[in-house]
Structures are given as structure tokens and as C-alpha cells.
Structure 1
Amino acid sequence: MGYYVCVEPGVNLYVEDLNPKGSKTIVFLHGWPLSHDQFEYQFDVLPAMGYRCIGIDWRGFGKSDRPMEGYHYNRLADDIFAVVEKLQLNNFTLVGHSTGGAISIRYMSRYKGFGVSKLVLVDAAVPVGFTQETAHQLLDQALNDRPKMIRDVSDTFFFQYVTKPFSDWFFHLGLQAAGWSTAAIIMTLRDSKLYDDLPKILTPTLIVHGVHDKVIPYAQALELNEKISNSYLVPFQFSGHGPFWEERVKFNQLLKEFIG
């Protein structure tokens, strides 16, 4: 079922809550510029295994409200905390993909991992996001031809072949976001560094990263593995930036084994 949670006056986040009576809870944070729908191939399977799966659309993305401000990691982490408090979540696994991984890291450091028993970082945009050059190019496109920018990002996202209908579906996920939120996150990814957050992560952490990732280099996964003390890294040999789809059977099984 889907519903809205108010995270501050005038701002409501959309939450997809599947199998609310599940024995263990997984909270999913999507990547830029997508929505919780990117995890369709987890939501198809994991609730039937007994897990409660919660997908949250960040402000400005998916079905959530689209305010003009609040697109920095502190506020985005505050939004997640507000949802966790409202839903009274505890002992849950937090899964963050790409920029969602960065938001997860800030949540863990800012709120001392409140409620989180395990952390999963999937091709996380941590400790850095976009280079100045990449950000400049994306920002220029976002402000002048956002559909082309999203199409270009979609085309470099996956290592394995995707059909045109799948590519079109993925492309339309990106179009759901507001133009201003899409641009604001590019600047956040350009300007924010999360080095100081990493030593504060004490929760057991699974790092998943496609070795062919053209968006966030695999080298960053190695760095995360080195700097997050209680972590282990599983490389996905046949994936780019989207192992949750490209190797979805392996990904879902790994989640199940890690969560227990």
C-alpha cells in the first residue's frame, strides 16, 4: 500500500509499504534521478519471502512533494528520520543505492544509525559524487534539455543489455522528478564530501558494487570497504550501476542472506 508522511510543514513524502506485517523490515532509498519504483524487482520477490519492504521517494522525486528547497544531505537525512519516527521503525535494514547510499551514510552519522540494524550500500555515491566536469555537463543539460540528460544517464546505467521498453520505463522514472530538484541534487553530488561520516558507521554493512559501473567507479567501493570498519564488499561482475536489476537474483539472495 502507498501513503504520504509529512516530514515538515508543507512537505509530504510518498511511502510504498509492502507486506506491513512482515517479520523483518527493509527500507529502500533510490538513486538520482529515480524513485522507489527502481526496486520493482526486489518488491516483486522479497515481500513474498516474509519481508516488509518500504520504498521512500525523496522530496522532489517520484510521487513525493516537490518543494524548491531542502536538497542537501542533512535535510534529506532529516526527511528519512521523520519517516522512521512516524512509522516507529526499529531494527530495520537500510538499503541505499547511489545517491540514496549517500543519504543513508548521512542518516547513519547524523542520527547514530537510529533504528538501523544493518546497512546495505549499492553502488553508493560515497565518499564523493560527481566530479566538477561531470556535474557541469549534467547541470547544463538538466537546465536546458533534461529529457536528453536523463536518456543519456539511462544509456550508461547498465552493463548488460536492456530492451527498449525497459529503457523507456527507466527513462520515465527520471522524468517524474522536478527539474529544480534534479539540478539541485547534481550540485549536492558535486559539492558534498562524506569522508568524515564513514568512521561513524559501526553497523554491519554490506557493500555491493558493479565492477563495470560508469557512474560511480568501483574504486569507491574499495575505499568504503576500507573506511567502514564493520563492512564487507561483494563485487558484481556482470553489472554496471544497477546490480539490483542486472543481477537481481543474486542481489535478492544476497540481501536475504545478509538480513537473515
Structure 2
Amino acid sequence: MPYYTVKDGTEIYYKIWGPENGPVVVFSHGGPLNADNWEAQMFFLANHGFRCIAHDRRGHGRSSQPWEGKNMDTYADDLLALFEHLEIKDACMVGHSTGGGEVARFLGRHGTSRVRKAVLVSAIPPLMLKTDTNPLGTPMSTFDDCRAGMVADRAQFFVDVPTGPFFGFNREGAKNAYDCVTVFSETDLREDLRKIDISVLIIQGDDDQIVPIVASAHEAIKTLKHGSLKIYPGGAHALPDDINKDLLDFFQA
């Protein structure tokens, strides 16, 4: 399996699907998932001529499990190391949930010289936590309950989330994961969004119970210089069923 090693010795797993000379799409997964969450999109786009690359974020999937480094700056730096390792240029980026924050921080921290377009799907920017300057955010008590649930019964927590709010099934109709709650809930990405000077497509369902749309997509679109928003009526936090066509249309435009 292919790996690359970053400066602190962490080994990051990645996979590549699609023709060698195709235009590149780099995917960033949500937490606590891994690169496999993108297989449907990678298969679809690879069959339309794109070279699709996805990595397992540090502490996730097949990558190393370091005790330190679970913060958005390090995630973005790890991603830059992937770009450098594979000499990626003129890429499109796609991030889901926490991965959307990773994409935003990458672009805000490292610039857009290697990237031509980006897509944020059910993504955490600009800021999930409710603060004096972010009154539409989610109270800290919600994230404290999330962390407490992981510690009390980690197995049950990872049953309850996907069978409930992640896919919307409750509607009619580890350490790394623990640390990830702090990263996705408390990282302020507002300044990163302001720095992005490329076209960004935001995709989100209006019934997202994990990342409420009012405090995420509706706020993020106000900040982006070249942003567009597509809302899936009734859509949950999981990747929308029709996202493949949306990605293809956006990348080919």
C-alpha cells in the first residue's frame, strides 16, 4: 500500500484511482472516516477521465496513530506533503465535514497556487461552536456530550451516530476520534474562507443534524469571494446521492 512520511515521522496512507494523466481531484474525508468513504465518487470520476487521490488523515484508517498533531494546521500540512510527494498541480479539492475544514485551512494556510477549484460538502466552515461572534453555532455542551459518549461506550457511539443523525435515519423517514471532536467543533475557519480566491462550490442538505446548515453553508457562502451554493432539500449529513454529477459538472465548467 502507498504511504508517504511527514516531518514528524507520521506515515499517511493514500490511494490513487484513474488515468495517470487525467486532471487531479484530491479528496479529504470526514471524521472518523477514511479515504474509502469517497470510493463511489472516485470510481465515477475516474471513469470520466479524472485522476482521483484520497488519503487517510493521521489517526484515521490505515495511517499512523500518533498521540499528537490532531489539529487543523497539522492536517493541512500533512495534505501539503501529499501534494509535494505526488507533485500535484492544478488540482480540484473536495472535502466532506471535517475534511471540508481541512480543505479550507489548506487553502487559507498554503494558498491556491496548486488548486483551481474546491468543493465543500456538509462542511464545518466557518465555525461550528457557538460563541459571542458566532451566535448561530452549536453550544459547547453538545460537543462535551459527544466526547463523553465516546469515553463511556465507544462502540455504541459509533452505532448510534450512523444509524441516526449521520444519514438521517432517526427522522421520520479512540483517542483520535475524541480529539477530532475538538478540531471540528472549535476550529475557526472564517479567515481561511476570506483568503480563498478560487471558485468554491458548497453542497449541503438542509436537514444536516451533524453540521447545521444555518451556521455552516449559509454563513460560509457570505464570506467566499467566488462561492456558489447547492442545497439538497431534506438532505442529511452523509454525502448526497447525486453528488457525483454535481462534482463532474463543476469540475468540467
Distance 1:222 1:68, change over 3 A: same
Match of 1:182 in 2: 177
Distance in 1 separating the partners of 2:97 and 2:186: 16
Counterpart contact for 2:17–2:43, Cα < 8 Å: no
Could you tell me which amino acid in structure 2 is paired with residue 254 of structure 1? D
1:118 shift after superposition: 0.3
2:193 matches 1:198? yes
Q: What TM-score do the two structures reach when normalised by structure 1?
A: 0.87
Structure 2 partner of 1:85: 84
RMSD: 1.5
Matched-pair contact (CA < 8 Å) for 2:201–2:230: yes
Query: Residue 109 of structure 1 contacts residue 200 of structure 1 at CA under 8 Å; is this kept in 2?
Result: yes
Name the CA distance, whole Å, in 2 between partners of 1:160 and 1:49. 32
Whichever structure has more helix as a proportion of its residues is: 1
Aligned partner of 2:112 in structure 1 is: 113
Question: Which residue number in structure 2 is paired with residue 174 of structure 1?
Answer: none
Q: Deviation above 4 Å: which 4+ runs of structure 1?
A: none
> Displacement, 1:38?
0.9
Per-residue Cα deviation, 1:83-112 (whole angstroms, up to 9, x for no partner): 101100000101000000001111000001
Contact 1:78 1:107 in 2 (8 A): yes
Tell me, yes or no, if the aligned pair for 1:108 and 1:114 is still in contact at 8 Å. Answer: no
1:240 paired residue number: 236
Deviation string for 1:107-151 (max 9, x for gaps)?
A: 000001241110100010111235311210111122221111111
Match of 1:169 in 2: none
TM-superposed CA distance for 1:73, in Å, is 0.6
Compute the displacement of 1:160 (Å). Answer: 6.5
Which sits farther off after the overlay, 151-160 or 82-91?
A: 151-160
Residue 20 (structure 2) aligns with:
21
What TM-score do the two structures reach when normalised by structure 2? 0.90
Residue in structure 2 matching 1:214, options 195, 202, 209:
209
For residues 122 and 78 of structure 2, the distance between their equivalents in structure 1, rounded to whole angstroms, comes to 22
> 1:92–1:115: 8 Å Cα contact kept in structure 2?
yes
Q: Which runs of no fewer than 5 residues in structure 1 stay unpaired?
A: 162-178
Query: Which 5+ residue runs of structure 2 have no aligned equivalent?
Result: 130-137
Q: Deviation per CA, 1:54-104: give whole Å up to 9, x if none.
A: 111100001111100001111110000011011000001010000000011
Equivalent in the alignment of 1:231? 227
Any idea what the Cα deviations from partners look like across 1:147-182, whole Å, max 9, x if unmatched?
111112212111369xxxxxxxxxxxxxxxxx1111
Aligned length: 238
Find the counterpart in structure 2 of residue 95 from structure 1.
Answer: 94
